[in-house]
Structure 1
Amino acid sequence: MSVIILGLMLLSLTIWLGLLCFWGQFWRTDQQLEVTQTQLESLPVVCAVVPARNEAELIPITLRSLLLQDYPGSFNVFLVDDRSTDRTANFAEGVAYAVGKPQQLHIISGESLPPSWSGKLWSVEQGIKSASKLAPDYFLLTDADIEHDPGNLRRLVAKAVQEDLDLVSVMVRLRCESFWEKLLIPAFVFFFQKLYPFRWVNNPKNPTAAAAGGSILIAREALERIGGIQVIRQALIDDCALAQSVKSIRRVGDWESGIHTNSSFPSTPSSPSSSPTGRIWLGLSTLTRSLRPYDSLATIWDMVARTAYTQLNYSPLLLLGTLVGMPLIYLAPPVCMILGAVWGNWAIALTGLLGWLLMTFAYYPTIRFYKCSVWFALSLPAIAFLYTLMTLDSALRHWQGRGGAWKGRVYPSSDNF
């Protein structure tokens, strides 16, 4: 038995060494938007699209932050009211007048949800259609719960222009105030970075693609190139689906005549095999933040369970691998350390301790980024156990036909786009 346990611990330790050394340095927090130089020689036209459904509580803060961006170029906000019942549109209009910028806000009453669309993406589609009349160079796709730093748009545009990027996205700073938020929210970001190492995402030669839906700046040409929002209309993890579409489609140097003025998005244009694929960038933000509260375990649980099984492509085999792999990687080190100490087997105890220290070392930069106590870094095994249960629950919800529930709607558990 001791030999088997020691073998499992050595396997866990090897996995952690591999993750730390060869997995895109996912554990680091050095990919940050705020380090971008913001000097701009040109000022592209930007239109923000904000889908909003029953956001009256947060919209006075978040919309104000959008309208007060210090971006010196042309900037308009298109808020799509997705049939709210709490007077979201009225509050939004009041905010625009309060800050003296009613001409920059365009409120669109959302149409009924058609088949095969998610509610958020249908709202985004309507917003883009209206905003396209202004012929913007970029669309800023953002959520109604995001409070933008005054310089957020300026930095996004500068990043896109200076580095010739088709899509720039930031994982905004999630709310981390309650105990459950401090325990589980930094881990959410950590696991996301492990799934999609930001350095790999930002490398045009690496196929890994991801984005964070709270703040995405996408070039109009890039959106046209992939066929528009409609190509991901069923995606529950819409931000990563959008990034994957942009990065996987090859760029062309010169557009065919009429592409820019065509009101409908064209199909993917043919291009030489030597043409590079789309260029994207994903990083963290220290200043722009989400105001969405997750005060209890239940709210965080629902947030994760909504899409965790979707992330596994609804695959029972991937689910099984997760249920086996997560305990091996995260739970085995502390458990074996304790068992080894009790049995007096110091080889097992020390191997377990080393594995626990490695995962703590990997998690600490995220904990420091969120300014949480170092003791939360030591809690990663327990946190991983909870996330494993959330993933299992996500699969159970899918099998029961309750997957993808959001804002009073339950969407079919399909991510075909």
Structure 2
Amino acid sequence: MPVRHGRVGQTARVSAVVWIAAVSLAAWLWLLLCQGFFWRTDVRLPPRTAPRRWPSVCVVVPARDEAAVLPASLPTLLAQDYPGRAEIFLVDDGSGDGTADVARALARRQGGLPLTVASPGEPPAGWTGKLWAVRQGIALARAREPEYLLLTDADIAHAPGSLRELVAAAHTGGFDVVSQMARLRVSSRWERLVVPAFVYFFAQLYPFRRIGRRGSRTAAAAGGCVLLRGDAAERARIPDAIRHAVIDDVALARAVKGGGGHIWLGLAVHVDSVRPYPRLHDLWRMVSRSAYAQLRHRPLLLAGTVLGLVLVYLVPPLALLCGLAVGSAPAAVCGGLAWLVMTGTYMPMLRYYRQPAWLAPLLPLTAFLYLLMTVDSAVQHYRGRGAAWKGRTYARPDAVADES
């Protein structure tokens, strides 16, 4: 009898593994076919024609302690080949490394588009530093009555025709927001392992094709490169309406789309981030500072996310290995097929980042790292160190008094 009971228990365990592997495979088939084809990387700037009259544009660059990266990024903005009137406003957000002086020196040395450097001081309660800087930049820009605002980060380098292409795309498509996901730097081994997956996961959460579709509720932008129509910014009360948002790009897109605006997001070809993340620690901080905010600081959403990551990314290789170990062909087949679909959907992103194909099967390992980063983000939040960036820690939005 003990032997029989042991066999029954083993059979039950194998059966459970088969069912879990089958659910994981079903999840991957659904993601492959029903999640906006998120895995495709051909969503680039839409067809565009040059307007008869090029509208005026003001470029707003919030910058905090960016002296090291400005020499690689700011000259690309100053050198924009734009046929209309364009001007740059760099807002120094309390830097301690001479960011403002570096910016002025670069403008004197290179020339190009006019540059104004402002230093508004520390943000008041209820504002993140970046959005307070953006507010000051937009306030300065509005004195010029621009038709468009380009919000771009201090670590983003633009090809000479980037601004022209963005404006032409917005004009042709009637978009209130045209945003490009800058190609992030991929040089160190940790960047190769983590960075392409970061964009892959983002696209899985916010499929680009759905974002640009009228009537779709999906809304997102990439904060490094956001061209925003001036009147749309006023209607959506940008940035005041999102002043406490840690994930400000998604909040901006939701505010504009919620007000009836038409938005577009895709992958960039001529827009690149020059910020290095050479160590795992650097990438860990980049992800963990906002991961729990993405889950709206809700423990149930955190638990669901952890379970989802385990089911979708960790179960396939574990089911394959377990099935091979105990001789369960169904478990091995379901796990292997799920892992194969996962690997295949990751390949286009690796090609976009010019990375070798052998990294694709390692996506479960990368997902496990992201799981740990997400849990760490929650731990840091409850320790009072959540959403910390460059010397500031921000409260959760519902802990901030409404000032509107």
User: What is the TM-score with the length of structure 1 in the denominator?
Assistant: 0.91
Distance 1:150 1:327 in 2: 43
Q: Is 1:334 aligned with 2:317? A: yes
Distance 1:227 1:286 in 2: 30
Corresponding residue for 1:234?
Answer: 244
Corresponding residue for 2:3?
Answer: none
What is the deviation of 1:39? 2.4
| Cα RMSD after superposing both structures | 1.2
Distance 2:369 2:350 in 1: 18
Distance 1:341 1:155 in 2: 53
Tell me whether 379-388 or 340-349 shows the greater mean CA deviation. 340-349
Letter in 1 for 2:216: N
Q: Which runs of 5+ in 1 are unaligned?
A: 250-276
What is the deviation of 1:110? 2.0
| Structure 1 residue matching 2:143: 3-state secondary structure | helix
Q: Is 1:32 aligned with 2:32? A: no
Distance 1:395 1:355 in 2: 29
What is the deviation of 1:113? 1.5
Q: Alpha-carbon deviations, 1:49-99, whole Å to 9, x = none?
A: 001111111112211000101111100000111122222111111111222
Query: What are the within-5 Å matches in structure 2 for residues 241-280 of structure 1?
Result: 241-249=251-259, 277-280=260-263
| Structure 2 residue matching 1:80: 3-state secondary structure | strand
Query: What are the within-5 Å matches in structure 2 for residues 11-410 of structure 1?
Result: 11-33=23-45, 36-101=47-112, 104-249=114-259, 277-410=260-393
What is the deviation of 1:414? 2.2
Distance 2:369 2:52 in 1: 49
Distance 1:333 1:112 in 2: 48
What is the deviation of 1:43? 0.5
What is the deviation of 1:413? 2.4
Distance 2:384 2:111 in 1: 47
Letter in 2 for 1:317: L
Q: Alpha-carbon deviations, 1:111-162, whole Å to 9, x = none?
A: 2221110000000000100111100000000100001111111111011100
Distance 1:66 1:36 in 2: 23
Distance 1:342 1:365 in 2: 32
Distance 1:100 1:156 in 2: 22
Q: Alpha-carbon deviations, 1:247-271, whole Å to 9, x = none?
A: 011xxxxxxxxxxxxxxxxxxxxxx
Q: 1:36 touches 1:155 (CA, 8 Å); kept in 2? A: no
Q: 1:38 touches 1:154 (CA, 8 Å); kept in 2? A: no
Q: 2:70 touches 2:155 (CA, 8 Å); kept in 1? A: yes
| Structure 2 residue matching 1:134: 3-state secondary structure | coil
What is the deviation of 1:38? 4.8
Distance 1:203 1:168 in 2: 13
Distance 1:323 1:82 in 2: 35
Q: Is 1:8 aligned with 2:33? A: no
| Structure 1 residue matching 2:182: 3-state secondary structure | strand
Q: 2:49 touches 2:172 (CA, 8 Å); kept in 1? A: no
Q: 2:64 touches 2:94 (CA, 8 Å); kept in 1? A: yes
Distance 1:360 1:42 in 2: 47
Letter in 2 for 1:309: Y
What is the deviation of 1:197? 0.4
Cα distance change, pair 227–37 in 1 and its aligned pair in 2 (3 A): closer
| Structure 1 residue matching 2:354: 3-state secondary structure | coil
Distance 1:73 1:287 in 2: 20
Distance 1:70 1:408 in 2: 36
Identity %: 49
Letter in 2 for 1:340: G
Distance 2:395 2:301 in 1: 20
Distance 2:41 2:155 in 1: 23
What is the deviation of 1:20? 0.6
Distance 1:228 1:350 in 2: 51
Distance 1:391 1:236 in 2: 15
What is the deviation of 1:363? 0.7
Tell me whether 22-31 or 35-44 shows the greater mean CA deviation. 35-44
Distance 1:109 1:327 in 2: 46
What is the deviation of 1:36? 4.0
| Structure 2 residue matching 1:207: 3-state secondary structure | coil
Distance 1:200 1:37 in 2: 20
Corresponding residue for 2:9?
Answer: none
